[in-house]
């Protein structure tokens, strides 16, 4: 247990408290609705210690504080803070845009979709192809980042697919600076459609310059790794699974968007651990 306070407040403890009672830890997880020790989960409660929401991936700073600020107890606190602003440390922080990938390291694989506008034909094709894939993306620990627009009009979202395959996805906004920073960091063109698959190690595993009607190649890349094999073993023990059909589809005439006429998929692969 670790206490967080204002610098002006007297410390409650001079060190963090450590729990070693496995029974107590299991009881806390059960009472708070948290996942098993093998999966990440986090909840935030008001002073009543009643959990209302469980996060299956680390939330961004703004999303976290927005959630806390909606607690009933925060109303009076915010009024007090308006009259007497609290003093917080001015320690230099890295811009959040620089930390966006670090947030997902070892926790989530990423599917990044970039387009010059939301009306971009390739972008709309890709969204159509992704329809119904939430379960399969979720159990493979994917988050989807949409990077839309250019320059001052850039915007985006992060969609966290449920790790258990059936809960509701969580969607968070991405600021203009985050979108522009990600494109610069990953060398993504702002003028053309592209989709990237990024592994849990933050390395780009595959790059798709045109829409993919099926994600089978992405799934195969993930499923062939030892890391994914271990994840599947845990999911089998926990009863986490999806229907067998991955949702393959094709357009009229049997041609898959994202494939050449000879059926060769238009993608660039980077082979490394997922």
pLDDT tens digits, one per residue of 63-82 = 777 788 888 888 888 888 77
Residue 250 lies in a domain: yes
Domain that holds residue 45: 22-83
d(CA 25, CA 31): 10
d(CA 219, CA 246): 9
Is 171 within the bounds of a domain?
yes
Q: Is 61 found in the same domain as 153?
A: no
Q: State the chain's mean pLDDT as an integer.
A: 79
Digit-coded pLDDT (tens) for 113-158: 999 999 999 999 999 999 999 999 999 999 999 999 998 999 999 9
- Counting residues of the chain whose pLDDT is more than 90, the rounded percentage is 45
Domain identity same for 115 and 62: no
Query: Both 155 and 45 in a single domain?
Result: no
Q: Is the pLDDT of residue 95 over 60?
A: no
pLDDT class of 21 with cuts at 50, 70, 90:
low
The candidate with the shortest Cα–Cα distance to 218, out of 206, 232, 202, 203, is: 206
Q: Are residues 116 and 251 in the same domain?
A: yes
Question: Which residues share a beta bridge with 204?
Answer: 198
The pLDDT, as a whole number, for residue 10 is 64
Is the per-residue pLDDT at 4 higher than 70?
no
198 touches 141 (CB < 8 A): no
Cα-Cα-Cα-Cα dihedral sign, residues 92, 93, 98, 102: positive
Q: Are residue 193 and residue 250 in the same domain, yes or no?
A: yes
Mean pLDDT, range 233-238, rounded to an integer: 92
Residue 93 belongs to a domain: no
Residues 194, 169, 136, 223: is their CA dihedral positive or negative? Answer: positive
Whether 89 is covered by a domain: the verdict is no
**pLDDT tens digits for range 184-215:** 989 999 999 999 999 999 889 999 999 998 99
Contacts of 3-11 with C-beta under 8 Å, sequence gap 24+, read 6/86, 6/87, 6/88, 7/87, 7/88, 7/89, 8/86, 8/87
Q: Answer yes or no: are the C-beta atoms of 58 and 160 closer than 8 Å.
A: no
Do 112 and 79 sit in the same domain of this protein? no
For the entire predicted model, the pTM comes to: 0.61
CATH of the domain at 114: 3.40.30
């Amino acid at each position: 247990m670790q206490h967080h306070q204002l610098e002006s407040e007297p410390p409650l403890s001079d060190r963090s408290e450590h729990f070693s009672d496995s029974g107590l830890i299991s009881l806390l997880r059960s009472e708070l609705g948290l996942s098993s020790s093998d999966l990440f989960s986090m909840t935030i409660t008001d002073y009543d210690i009643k959990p209302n929401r469980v996060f299956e991936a680390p939330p961004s700073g703004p999303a976290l504080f927005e959630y806390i600020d909606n607690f009933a107890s925060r109303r009076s606190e915010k009024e007090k803070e308006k009259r007497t602003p609290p003093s917080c440390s001015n320690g230099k922080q890295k811009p959040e845009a620089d930390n966006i990938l670090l947030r997902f390291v070892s926790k989530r694989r990423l599917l990044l979709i970039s387009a010059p506008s939301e009306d971009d034909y390739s972008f709309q094709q890709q969204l159509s192809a992704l329809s119904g894939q939430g379960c399969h993306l979720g159990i493979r620990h994917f988050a989807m980042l949409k990077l839309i627009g250019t320059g001052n009009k850039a915007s985006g979202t992060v969609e966290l697919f449920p790790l258990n395959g059936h809960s509701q996805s969580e969607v968070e906004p991405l600021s203009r600076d985050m979108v522009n920073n990600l494109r610069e960091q990953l060398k993504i063109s702002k003028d053309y459609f592209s989709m990237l698959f990024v592994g849990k190690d933050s390395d780009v595993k595959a790059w798709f310059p045109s829409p993919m009607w099926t994600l089978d190649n992405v799934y195969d890349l993930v499923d062939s790794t030892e890391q994914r094999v271990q994840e599947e073993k845990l999911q089998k023990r926990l009863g986490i699974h999806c229907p067998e059909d991955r949702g393959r589809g094709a357009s009229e005439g049997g041609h898959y968007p994202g494939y050449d006429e000879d059926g060769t998929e238009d993608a660039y692969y980077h082979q490394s651990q997922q």
